[in-house]
A and B are shown apart, each in its own frame.
Chain A
Amino acid sequence: MPHLTDQLSAYLDGTLTPEDAAAVASHLAECAECRGTLDDLQAVRNLLHTVPSRAPHPSLLPRTLAGLGGAAHRRATPWWMIAAAGTALGLALLLQVRLLPTPHPDRAEGAWYFQQHAVFAAAHPMSDVALASYLSGVLPYDVLREWSPSPQNP
């Protein structure tokens, strides 16, 4: 005869249907081991009932409610402010793109960079600074070209 398992706890808690409860009672009448387990479970439940209630600190609820006000305020501000900030950022990015000079097509070529660097490094001690300035958009390409090795600018 298989022993009862979680039906025992449910029986103890009175959550079984009348039919299932009757079946458990019938089993218990014949099974000393399950009766012992039921007694143990009852004792465990009684032990748990001895645990005293834990009361929260009296200031916890007021502090919590006060914190909720802050959370609500933080939520109430955003939608128009975020929209305005997003629009401003978008405009700023757009204007920056429009205002910046179009890069020289050669700039995109990697080989051009190394070639120019080698030439400038040989001709001008400050060529790295000049090239970096150009690449970062500070120095116009025309100025850079004027510094290129040439009969006027060896």
Chain B
Amino acid sequence: MTSAHVALSVALPVDELAQAAEGASARDQFAELLAAHWDRAYRFAYHLTGNNADSDDLIQQAAEEAFRAFHRFQPGTRFDRWFFRIMHNSFVDRIRRDRRRKIFSLDEVTGAAASETADPSAIAEGALDGPVLRALRALPPDARAVVALVDLLGLPYDDAAEILHCPVGTIRSRLHRARLALREWLRPYVDAMKRGDL
């Protein structure tokens, strides 16, 4: 058993809300937990899908699936990690079903050069959002999921591995390759950021 598998088998920290009041219905408990983690879950959905309409569909589908499986949720573990995992599984299923979506290979796009030039005022005006989000959307889904969890939601590698159901070493390598790809696509912005212009 590798260290990554050992890490996966360790119970996650207790979710304070998982110890819901006794006597409350399962539906009420689920609703309370879902509401507590709703905003972060939506952010994850948004960064997976890249747009509001698909995020809405994905999080609603995940909520339905999680509710159906709620009897299997173990009190004492983190609800958000459990829900994120269900949502990511739903996302992967959607991608497999939807053949219209083109899935890029990270190797294929790593060398792509960004054609835009960085405008120092972009970040102040919120315009930096566009190029960064476009670059994120160009990542393959598995790399995008790691970047969303670690860089955008700030989760530790162990939790990302738990959610994405893979070893910690895979998280580390996917994250590194994704960052290198983003560096190439966002080169003008990266250079401006290093110079302190952004």
Q: Which positions in A face B, CB cutoff 8 Å?
A: 5-6, 8-10, 13, 15, 39-41, 43-57, 60-61, 63-65, 67-69, 71-72, 75
* Alpha-carbon distance A72/B46, docked complex (angstroms): 27
Which residues in B have their C-beta under 8 angstroms from that of A53? 39, 43
Cβ contacts under 8 Å, B128 to chain A? 47, 50
Report A-chain residues with C-beta under 8 Å of the C-beta of B172: 6, 9-10, 15
B-side binding surface: helix, strand, loop or mixed? Answer: helix
For chain B, which range describes its interface: under 10, 10 to 19, 20 to 34, or 35 or more residues? Answer: 35 or more
Q: Which 6 A-B pairs have the closest CB atoms?
A: A6-B176, A9-B176, A43-B193, A56-B42, A54-B46, A48-B151
Decide if B67 touches A71 in the complex (CB within 8 Å).
Answer: yes
Assess the A39–B176 pair: CB atoms within 8 A.
no
- Which residues from chain A contact B151 at a C-beta distance below 8 Å? 45, 48-49
Complex interface residues of chain B between 17 and 50 (CB less than 8 A to chain A): 27, 30-31, 34-35, 38-39, 42-43, 46-47
Q: Are A68 and B63 in contact (CB under 8 A)?
A: yes
Chain B residues within 8 Å of A, Cβ to Cβ: 27, 30-31, 34-35, 38-39, 42-43, 46-47, 52, 55-56, 59-60, 63-64, 67-68, 123, 126, 128-129, 132-133, 136, 147, 150-152, 156-157, 172-173, 175-177, 179-180, 182-183, 186, 189-191, 193-194, 198
